[in-house]
Structures are given as C-alpha cells and as structure tokens.
Amino acid sequence: MEDSPAPPMSAQWRNMFVLAIIYGYIAIIVLGALWFFRWRETELPWWTDIPVGFLAIFLIGPAQHRLFLLGQEACLGVLFRNRWLNELAGDWLTHFPFSTSTHHMRHIVRSHYEFPNDPERDAELIIAGKAGFWPLKPVRFLRMTALLRWHSLRANYNFSANPNNPYQEPGERPPKVALRIGTAYVLIMFAILIGLYLSPNWWVLVFLPPSMWVVTCFIFLLLPGRCFHQSRLKSVYSPRFRTLMQITFITLVNLGLGWSSYFTGRSGILNYIALWVAPMVTTCTWAMLLRQWRQHAGREQEAAKCTANISSNWLRRLLVFPLNQHLHQTKHDFPETPWYHLPRLAQNPTRIR
C-alpha cells in the first residue's frame, strides 16, 4: 500500500471527539427507547413498543456503521498516531463491541486495500460472495440467515484454512483452541444472565461471573502460544494479551447487563439484543453492503478501475457514505491518510499537508 504523510498530532485527536459524539448519540437513542418502553407499560398498549423499537434500530445502525469505519482507520494505523493508543482504542471502542478485534479485522481490511477486487485474496469480496451479496441482491437484505452468515464469515475468516490468504502460513491450519474456549465462555455467560433474569439472585451475580473470568483467564495464561491465532501480520501486542482483554470486555458488558436486570426487573440481555445486536445485523449491515457495492460497482472490470470517487449528496453521505467514504478511490490511493484529510488530497493528490 502506498504511504502518505502523517497528519499533525493535534488533528488525530478529532477521532476521539467523533467517537464521543457517536457513543453519545447511541446513548441518547437507547435511553430514549428504554424510557418509552417503561413509560408505555402504564399508558399505552404493548404493540406500541414495536414501531419505537424499529425506529431505534433504524437510528442506531448508521452510528454503528461509523464505528466500523473508524475501526478500519484503526486497522490501517491512522485512528491515532501512537500505535498503542491506536490499537487499544480500535479494540475497546470500535471492535470489541462487535465481538471482534482490530488485529483480526486488519487481515480483512488490508487484503481489501492491497488486493482490491481480487476474487481469491480480497476478503471483503470473498465474504460478500459466499454470503450471497455479490453480485448485489437487495432481496437478500430481508433474509436474516444471509445477514447472520455475512457476520459469521467475517468473524471466522482468519480461522478458516485458505491457501490464497496472503497472511496465513502456507499449508498450516489456523489454530482454533482459544477461539472455542472463548465461544464457550460467551455462551455460558449468556445462559447465566438468562437464568438470573428468570430467578434473580444477587450473590450468584457477585461471585459467579468474576469467578468464571478468573478461571478462564488462568486457562488462557496456561495455553501454549500455538493455540492462539497466528499470522504474518505483525501485532502490536500478543494474541494472548488481546484475548485476555476481549474476555475482560465481555465480562464487564455481561456484568452491566446482569446488574441492570437485577435492579430494574427487566432483561438487560433482551434489551441488548434489541438495541445493539438487531441494528448491527440489519441497518448497519445494509449500509455497509450498499457502500461497498457502490464503491466497487465495477468489480467485473479490471481491478485497478473498480474503485471510484462518488458524487454524493448530503443524504447519501449521511446514510451510506459517512466519514468521506465517497472519496474511496483517494482512500485506495493513500490508505494511510485519515478520513478527514481525503477531501484536500482528492483535490490535489500531490499536496503534502
């Protein structure tokens, strides 16, 4: 990938400002929806929850889309100049909330920028094709199985043997031991939260999730390094440390959901599914797929000609092309350029900031 001059340190902090705005916006929508659900119980019939829930899903999805895009910036190393801050913010603020990590997504993002539209090496194209979204089939947007398959393929891309994957060691199958332990941990924690909602018990919530976290972290500390995912891409920190952080994040989220259920008498896990998971797999995914299709609408042509800067009005930028995504050709030409510098670079590609 072609490098571009790094932006000033002060300019990089605008990403923290954008992240704060996005999470603030999501918090307002979620709290507003939760307030309505509770107020409605004594004022309106139950079915009025449905349109409010759909409205919340429609409003949260585009914000999640922006988090995914900032996650791509972290994968390319331009969310923040400091590489540790870039990786930690990328993990905790843009990837852990979607059950993935910056280093994992870096494989997908880097393959797309290094091998755009290559049917054997461009992970975005491969995943969209396997999920049935390429060529674009809008009717599949209504099939939940197709949307879930797309997310599953992205989550498991690095753990599937692929001789054409440029970041895998040839002839080696990616280890899945740590992945399976982590998956089992999530499922057990989910079952505990459901059980606590049906039969509230504060002392179980106090002792069981923290104890599970300690035991699971101890297991990961004892696992040999070969049990964790390895790749040719250099990581800022070890796969073991990244896994421990992700388990910690999952535990904190589940504790928050568990205590909210205990104090309010309402299922935190169901609200989480309705107001975070549902928009992630519907409106957020639709925006991502529409954006990718429009950015690479000519995939059947020569790869170098398949990206484009797109003439886009304010509504399209708001819903599909936020963070200057309409300047996709410029981003491909200078992937190490932060999103907020793309307009000036598109006007004058030779200009050094």
pLDDT tens for each residue of 159-172: 887 878 888 877 67
Residue listed under structure tokens 């755009």: 116
pLDDT of residue 109: 93
> Residue 12's pLDDT is what?
63
pLDDT digits (tens, 9 = 90+) for 136-150: 777 888 889 999 999
Sorting pLDDT into bands at 50, 70 and 90, what band is 2?
A: very low
Q: What share of the chain in percent tops pLDDT 90?
A: 52
State pLDDT tens for residues 55-112. Answer: 999 999 999 999 999 999 999 999 998 999 999 999 999 999 999 999 999 999 999 9
pLDDT in the model for residue 9: 42
How many CA within 13 A on the CB side of residue 62?
Answer: 15
* Confidence grade of residue 269 (pLDDT, cut at 50, 70, 90): confident
Q: Is the pTM of this model over 0.75?
A: yes
Residue 247: CB atoms within 10 Å: 22
Residue range 291-346, pLDDT digits in tens: 988 888 654 444 444 566 776 677 888 888 899 998 988 999 899 899 999 988 88
How many whole angstroms separate alpha carbon 93 and alpha carbon 33?
A: 22
Contact yes or no for 268/261 (Cβ under 8 A): yes
Q: Where do the structural domains in the chain lie, given as residue ranges?
A: 9-164+265-347
pLDDT at 175: 85
pLDDT at residue 352, as a whole number:
45
Instruction: Provide the pLDDT for residue 3.
Output: 42
Q: Which tens digits make up the pLDDT trace of 179-236?
A: 899 999 999 998 888 888 888 888 888 999 999 999 999 999 999 988 898 888 888 9
Cα–Cα nearest to 22, from 314, 284, 225: 284
